[in-house]
Amino acid sequence: MNQATGLTRIVKAAGYSWKGLCAAWRHEAAFRQESILFIVAAAVACWLDVSLVERILLIGSVALMVVFELLNSAIEAVVDRIGSERHELSGRAKDMGSAAVLIAALIALFIWGSILYQHFWGAA
């Protein structure tokens, strides 16, 4: 068994990651939408006159949502690969993945709302 080590392993892992990002972009509309949202949000966060920590929170919260969307898409792909028949556990797995994305989106909304409120209407 010839397993890649060191730099070879890192290069191969990066290739697999790139393939995963390309597959998500090609097959998952939600991933495309959230990726575009991430680019816009990152640009807005860089434009806003906020502290470094606030900027990291703004960008990181939306990035977290994209990460959870990737995980949700992976769960859905595995469940769909197993079979097309309806099963309670398959539905539960998909619903839980979706719930993770929802919670990440709510966290992002809370962070953005809190920072924007403080920046534009909060006490100085």
Give catalytic status of residue 54 as yes or no: no
pTM: 0.85
* Residue 87 pLDDT class (50, 70, 90 cuts): confident
Q: Is 87 annotated as a binding residue?
A: yes
* Contact by Cβ (8 Å): 13, 52: no
What residue spans define the domains of the chain?
A: 29-121
**What is the C-alpha separation between 12 and 86, in angstroms, rounded?**
36
Q: Choose the catalytic residue: 65, 69, 105, 108.
A: 69
Q: Is 38 annotated as a binding residue?
A: no
* pLDDT reading at 33 higher than 70: yes
- CATH class label, 29-121: mainly alpha
* pLDDT reading at 11 higher than 60: yes
**DSSP for 29-66?**
HHHHHHHHHHHHHHHHHHHS---HHHHHHHHHHHHHHH
Q: Is 12 annotated as a binding residue?
A: no
pLDDT at 2: 60
* Residue 124 pLDDT class (50, 70, 90 cuts): low
pLDDT at 123: 63
* pLDDT reading at 69 higher than 90: yes
* pLDDT reading at 24 higher than 60: yes
> CB atoms < 10 A from the CB of 24, how many?
20
